[in-house]
Amino acid sequence: MTKTNHHIALPRRLPPFFGAMLVGFWMLSVPATLMTGHAQSAPTTAVAGLLPGERLVPVTPAQRLDKAGNAWQFEEHGAISRVGNSLLNNGMNLNINNRQFYTQQPMANADGEWVLVDQNSVQQGLQIVRRIKLLEDVGVVRYVDVFTNLTSNGLGFQVNYKNNTSNNFQSVMSDQGNSGVTELSARESGVIVTPSSSQSTRAFRYGLSSPKSLVKPAIVYQNRYAFEFQYSLQVPAGGSVALLTAVRQVPVPRGFQRKDLVTLFRPALPDRLLSGLPAALRSLVVNVKTGGTSGPESLLGGIDTAALGVERGRRDVLAISGDTRLVGDALGGGIRIEGEYGAADIPFAQIAAIEGANLGKRDAARVFLRTGEIFSGQVVSDGLQFQMASGGKVDLDLPSLDRLVLAEKEGDGDWSRDGAEALVETHSGDRIALSNASGVTFQGMSPWGKAEFPLSDLVWLAPVEDEPVGYIAELADGTRTFLFLGGGKLATTTKWFGPREIELSAVKSIVTRLALERYQQRKGAVGTTPAPAVPPLDSPQTTYANLTGGQRIVGPVQNETFTVLTQGGKVSVKPEEIRRLVNLVQEDATGGATLAEPNFRIELWGGGVISGPLEETSIAFRKRGLTWNAPIGDVVELVNPQPTVAEGVRQEIARLVRQLGAEEWQVREEATRGLEGYGYLARALLLAELGTSTDPEVRRRIERILERLEE
């Protein structure tokens, strides 16, 4: 059984300078024929799997087509049902411990994504939110199933995705060309199921995990009419995890050459689809290795004694080689450690665990502090004893000590409580809290240009996985970029060793107070602990671009215009006119290779959409006085969260808002139509009026206009 945990959201690994990649990020609209009833906002109490402010409406199952002409039909509980001569009778039918998932009423948001909720009916103490979205451009159905443990104990269960075929299926083959697989190897991410020769001409491709994920399904066959994907999950008390899977209809391959399979599988790769999820959902996904980096989550999650093989609890534990464990109380006056950063005297009350030299089996001892810091070196102590629960007492000699793990206490793991500004982890495994580090400045190179920023602008810094050099850094404004640091030292002050300089080449990871606050906010989203008011990472309030590899640049655009090469000619728009620019991954109807030239859709604040290739080869951003140039093919989407409204337009909108309360019905109607014509440009003034107006007629009209904006 694979154990999973709640992780901090980390970007996927694939910097542009390690390989070219285009990432699709698609938006769908709910057809008017599917929208019935009244919209409901996401509950004010945070529910894992539901997004803050998300407006949901009841939805009635109806057949839909993707851009390749494939028909899709969904049952009320989210399973795929048969259309025509489809291979599948029933697919992706969610079961928990072989009990069927049901929901009373399927709902949908403005993006056309189904949101299904169940609590306790499948398994006591388990809440399930099932999110299903048809990505029409690439013919992929994306499933995000979020599982929340509502109990005070850990919860283990099996997730089954059951599939039944209309006749015998011909074969099941992995994306690496292996047939009849019952589990996915380290290089495999999914399977393709083909029909027999007398059946449909369409095969079904399933994306089940990222290649390097530790959470992969078993594949179980029942004759040749049924198969299922089985995941074993463990969810901690009050925690949430999610599975991201995908299904795609493709023409039955004429052959199974590996390069052909790669083309067929590419759009439905879970790690490729991960970037299209909000961070609140991305951080829960456990079957996609959110790669690229390692380190930050362990620095934020408290005292890291997992490597000691002893679980911390209410009593102290003395571990003596093998499986010998003594339970009782450790007694001592303190210890002295001498290591790379000098010597320090540490009171015993500050210690969470000690890993001794174990009769010379280890080169150095390690001391784990209750703040989450870790120091290695030579350790001495006078009068350290262990009082066993049975009454016996043992004198402890640190050179021969194996492991001593002390009981948990309230406040453990908070390295910031003494005013520390950051926690640094070195490649040797030490963790040191830094104070008085406001003068520290980092310099290096990003994929987009020179980078320079102070420690106060940093959220976290972590190494790029599987690469000998390089980091990924997230900044306070939401910028997230791969980074090569220049040489130098961190000159700072530590509580235990005083002023110190740490070589940057020795640094593995850094987290700051802001990272800790945001981590606590995410924990509060699924628990009962109040969370600090920290701006969510997903919502920068200024212009930003999401880029390949999970990277993001936040900052003003320097391009004067963008020119779209439409079929009718060139159309130029200014950056401030753009609400959202999306890089579309286009494929032909047979599932062929991606077009070499990226295609874009530009949604304008004033209404309207422009589609086609861009004449520009890059987008220039201003970052702390420097210019960053992002190649246009690396841009997933460009977003302006707030419109730029000219003063004359603002005055006209204000005039129309005032006329919503006019005595004449015709004036009120014309004002309503005029405001609807301004679209998002009127949104800010409408919200302001809605917050102050006491006129029921005015409030009703504003609410109607705002609802239409969200459709």
φ, ψ for residue 76, nearest 5 deg: -60, -30
The one-letter code for the residue type at 99 is R
pLDDT of residue 687: 83
- For 173-198, b/e burial (b = at least 16 CB within 10 A) is bbbbeeeeeeebeeebbbbbbbbeee
At 485, which amino acid appears?
A: L
Nearest residue to 157 (alpha-carbon basis) of 269, 247, 274, 243? 243
Compute the C-alpha angle 485/488/491, nearest 5°: 120
Tell me if 424 sits within 8 A of 490, measured CB to CB.
yes
- pLDDT (average), residues 476-493: 87
- Per DSSP, 344 falls in state E
The pLDDT assigned to 375 comes to 93
| Six token digits for residue 76 | 């009320």
**Mean pLDDT calculated for residue range 541-560:** 90
**CA 525/CA 431 separation, integer angstroms:** 28
Q: What's residue 277's pLDDT?
A: 78
Q: What are 402's two structure tokens?
A: 């194996």
The pLDDT, as a whole number, for residue 157 is 92
The proportion of the chain whose per-residue pLDDT surpasses 90, expressed as a percent, equals: 28
The residue ranking higher by pLDDT, 18 or 310, is: 310
| Lowest mean pLDDT, pick from 46-60, 393-407, 517-531, 655-669 | 517-531
- pLDDT tens per residue, range 508-543: 899 998 888 877 765 544 333 333 333 344 557 789
Q: With a cut of 70, say whether residue 46 has pLDDT above it.
A: no
pLDDT, position 592:
37
Is 681 a residue whose pLDDT tops 70?
yes
Alpha helices, H only, 253-324 = 258-265, 270-273, 279-282, 296-300
pLDDT at 142: 93
Q: Residue 12 above 90 pLDDT? A: no
Across the range 14-32, mean pLDDT stands at: 31
